Structure 1
Amino acid sequence: MKRFIAYFTFIAAFVLLSAFTVMQKKKIIFFGDSITQAGVAPNGYITLLQQRLAKEGRDKAFDLIGAGIGGNKVYDLYLRLEEDVLSKKPDLVFIYVGINDVWHKRSFGTGTDPDKFEKFYNRIIEKIQAAGAKVVICTPTVVGEKKGFVNELDGDLNKYSEIVRNIAKSKNVELIDLHKNIIDYINKHNPENKSSGILTTDGVHMNDEGNRFLAEQFWGYIK
């Protein structure tokens, strides 16, 4: 009888623990700048992902959190990493940064040099991994939508995108090559060679189609 009671108690505890585990949502954080900050707007890419999960009946399994702040560069992400990411104990973190590190060199003279960009980026990844979360990193998108790499900052964006690709290899983390993918899209869908209006409102920030494009890019890593 004692063995039976002990066995029954063990099974009951196991079932309760399993049920509790199933109920725990996977916490996914999108860590970035103004593009990510806008991602939680009604037509933002994070909102679209939440809607897609709900449509598939899986919204209760995931908690999608936008941690984007306008104007942020890689060192801003590093400085707020503990408060905005690690304290929330995420399961997965998408890092999507780099536009302002390039763009602000021209507009404000406050960009980020390539070597510093790489060092801060590596430290962010190391801290997230040390906390037990998975990391997926993204190349920066565009500053201008003209084809043929004639936008003023295309050269720098190519350089910083290559830095992110190399970081993905050296840190053995997964990569979403947004820079390549958005250029491929623009080459097919910008016959008039416009500087904006294809996926962006101003050459940088996403319009509705751009948010749908981003949602599709991230979806494969969430589903």
Structure 2
Amino acid sequence: MVAVGSSSTEGTGASGPTMTYPAQLDQILEARFPGAKIDVVNKGIGGETAAGTLARLDRDVLALKPDLVIWQLGTNDALRNVDAKTFATQAVEGIERIRRSGADLLLLEPQFLPKQAGNATYAAYVDAVRALGAANGVPVFRRSAVMRYWLDHKQFTATTMLSGDQLHMTDASYHCLAELMANAIVPSAMPAVEPPSTNASAQAIKLLSGPTAVRNAEMPR
């Protein structure tokens, strides 16, 4: 498996390389399936946008011939106000290239950030990643929803869920993310998906362009 994306994948906020979510995911899966050969390779680079991932996709991801790619995307594109159409087009290109390689794909949406709770643009990127997944028949790990649940049910506070910069996760929240992701990756637990749509890019652009449409859009559960 190859985990690709930005600082949440690289592990900013973790106390060390073994506490990143890809490293903890590797440990969890190896414990669940003793004797199986499992390798989760961390190819995250802090600050990366979708364009950055595309530029190194062949070299850092597809060249490894992974069975599964976990692509974390959207956070930096949202924070940097990357053009909606550009982001959607790049995301669809990445999805298509990964699938043509024969690898399975799981999208990891942006994290929930209390400081961005009222930011319609940031929320639109979360919903756009979900829409891209639905349109292309790719499962999306709803990290934002999970993190909101943790806070609402007092499993974490903002200071225990996020590191001092209030942007990146901590050892504990990375561990919980890895546990839930392991549950999603087990074949019997992998959600069913719909066949790809031909207008994936248009759907994402519409969501990113209209905050009201984003809030009212019906997303698959």
Which of 75, 91, 108 does residue 67 from structure 2 map onto?
A: 91
Which of 114, 128, 135 does residue 170 from structure 1 map onto?
A: 135
Distance change in 2, residues 1:71/1:58 (3 Å): same
| Unpaired segments ≥5 residues, structure 2 | 187-221
State yes or no: 1:123 paired with 2:93: yes
Which stretches of structure 1, 4 residues or more, deviate above 4 A after TM superposition? none
Deviation, 1:190, is 7.7
Helix, strand or coil: the match of 2:40? Answer: strand
Which of 12, 17, 37 does residue 41 from structure 1 map onto?
A: 17
Deviation, 1:51, is 1.9
Helix, strand or coil: the match of 1:189? Answer: coil
What's the counterpart of residue 162 of structure 2? 200
What's the counterpart of residue 156 of structure 1? 121
**In structure 2, how many angstroms separate the alpha carbons of the residues matched to 1:182 and 1:135?**
22
Aligned-pair RMSD on alpha carbons?
Answer: 2.2
**In structure 1, how many angstroms separate the alpha carbons of the residues matched to 2:46 and 2:115?**
24
What's the counterpart of residue 183 of structure 2? 220
Deviation, 1:219, is 0.8
Bigger relative contact order (CA 8 A; separation at least 6): 2
**1:75-100: CA deviations, max 9, x gaps?**
10111111011111111111111111
TM-score (norm 2): 0.75
| Unpaired segments ≥5 residues, structure 1 | 1-27, 106-110
Identity %: 25
Deviation, 1:57, is 4.4
**1:146-183: CA deviations, max 9, x gaps?**
69x34xxx322210011111111110111111111111
Name the amino acid aligned to 2:83. D
What's the counterpart of residue 187 of structure 1? 152
Helix, strand or coil: the match of 2:19? Answer: coil
**In structure 2, how many angstroms separate the alpha carbons of the residues matched to 1:75 and 1:211?**
25
Q: Is residue 126–residue 144 contact of structure 2 (8 Å, CA) maintained in 1?
A: yes
Q: Is residue 145–residue 198 contact of structure 1 (8 Å, CA) maintained in 2?
A: no
Deviation, 1:113, is 1.6
**In structure 2, how many angstroms separate the alpha carbons of the residues matched to 1:184 and 1:35?**
19
**In structure 2, how many angstroms separate the alpha carbons of the residues matched to 1:116 and 1:52?**
36
State yes or no: 1:67 paired with 2:36: no
Q: Is residue 23–residue 42 contact of structure 2 (8 Å, CA) maintained in 1?
A: no
Name the amino acid aligned to 1:156. T
**1:49-104: CA deviations, max 9, x gaps?**
2222332343642111111001101110111111011111111111111111122x
